[in-house]
Amino acid sequence: MSQISHGHNNEPATIPDGDSRHAPPPFLPFELITEILSRVPVKSLIQFKCVCKSWKTLISNPEFAKKHFSTFHHHHHLLLSINDALNNLIVRFYSLSSIFETSPPISNQVSYPLNTQNCSDYMVGSCDGMLCFAVNISCALLWNPNIRVFKKLPPLEKYNIFGFGFDQCSDSYKVVAILRSDCSGDGGSAYVTKVKIHNLGTDSWRRIKEYPSGIPMVLAAKLVTGTLNWLAYAPNLTSYAIVSLDLGKESCQELLQPDYGEVNVLSFSLGVLKNCLSIIVHYEEGFSDVWLMNDYGKKESWTKFLCLPFLGSPHVFPHGKVICIYGDEVLLQFNSDLSIYNFRNGTFKFPEIPDFCRWPDPQIYVESLISPCS
């Protein structure tokens, strides 16, 4: 029996020891709370900041953000960006599960933090929950739309090609900017290519070795295992090359392509599939192949993953992108159409995304608490 208060006659009132009404609240070690919260979705964690000061401090800690990103099983999203009729940049998210399983897919729209009149910014890439945008081709913006934090990097010259990724060697995020300028003279064409790198957490850009021969064709790079990869025109402008920049070594090299065989190649496009660098190749014969580089940097590791029938008129120059794989299906962009190809039964279906032909270069995105200001 336990004494808890006194009665009218100064006699102690008693209750059974097992009565839970006056038992002390349960206690959880802070380390266990950290482990539990690291398995909670980002949206819930943002709400949980209001629970108490210690939770707010924990959830706002950059080390916890890293732990959460490595622990939590993330849901992937398809991310699209476009300018509306007023030239405001619209950013829209679609969960991958809804793209493949729901008609029409479920979307969520967020406001771009730098919207101004005649906005010409465009999305460069996505890494660990942060998005990188080129701002008026003279600056870069890093933004985590989930925690609503962004950082504008120091201004540049008119650099027109960007890449963004994580370097495990230095445990830092890096933005790469490439300036491609035409220095043609009377004797013919000549190009100068400068490369600069910005480490997140610093206040300046650094110049690195010159870009190898070739002229980058696209405005944004594909991130694979700590490298940024561009498709480029060879110096003679009659063939293509894959140029890779190692974020750790901060040096460039050209990657050898697959052996396509006795076919006439029309066009290429780089992508990332199954965490491997991928290339989709279109042939004059009217079909396309998807190749994967299973061991990055080694030509002999290129394997043909898919053979795709061409969607559209044979008189239209083919252009396609491989976006992602989901179960037995792969999400593709052919010309201005988004399509899902089932590589088990060879069938296509087409997600209902409004005005998709106006959305450039879709990105795959995962949520995180990682801040560009940390």
Residue by residue, pLDDT tens for the chain (374 residues) are 434 344 444 444 444 555 556 666 677 888 999 999 999 999 999 999 999 999 999 999 999 999 999 998 888 899 988 777 777 888 889 999 999 988 888 888 888 998 766 677 888 899 999 999 988 877 899 999 999 999 999 988 776 688 999 999 999 999 998 877 666 555 545 666 788 999 999 989 999 876 666 667 777 789 999 999 988 876 665 678 898 999 999 988 889 999 988 888 888 889 999 999 999 888 877 788 999 999 999 999 999 998 887 665 554 555 678 899 998 999 988 766 788 989 888 888 888 887 666 666 788 999 999 999 98
What is the distance between the terminal CA atoms of the chain, rounded to a whole angstrom?
55
What is the pLDDT at residue 8?
Answer: 46
For 48, phi then psi, to 5°, come to -70, -15
Residue 293 amino acid letter:
M
- Contact call for residues 331 and 338 (beta carbons, < 8 A): yes
What is the pLDDT at residue 15?
Answer: 44
Closest to 223 (Cα-Cα) out of 173, 156, 158: 173
Cβ neighbours of 257 (radius 10 Å)? 18
What is the pLDDT at residue 218?
Answer: 74
What are the structure tokens assigned to 322, written together? 């491989």
What is the pLDDT at residue 183?
Answer: 61
Please give the C-alpha separations between residue 256 and each of 232, 241, 269, in angstroms, as whole numbers: 13, 8, 15
What is the pLDDT at residue 309?
Answer: 79
What is the pLDDT at residue 294?
Answer: 96
What is the pLDDT at residue 117?
Answer: 62
Burial class of residue 370 in the structure, from the number of CB atoms within 10 Å of its CB (0-12 exposed, 13-18 middle, 19+ buried): buried
How much of the chain is in helix, strand and coil states, percent to nearest 5? 15, 45, 45
What are the structure tokens assigned to 252, written together? 């460039």
- From CA 198, how far away is CA 250, in angstroms rounded? 11
Query: What are the DSSP calls for 246-287, one per residue?
Result: ETTTTEEEEEPPP---S--EEEEEEEEETTEEEEEEEETTSE
The whole-model pTM stands at 0.84
110's CB contacts (< 8 A; 6+ apart) are 91, 92, 93, 145
**If you count them, how many residues does the chain have?**
374
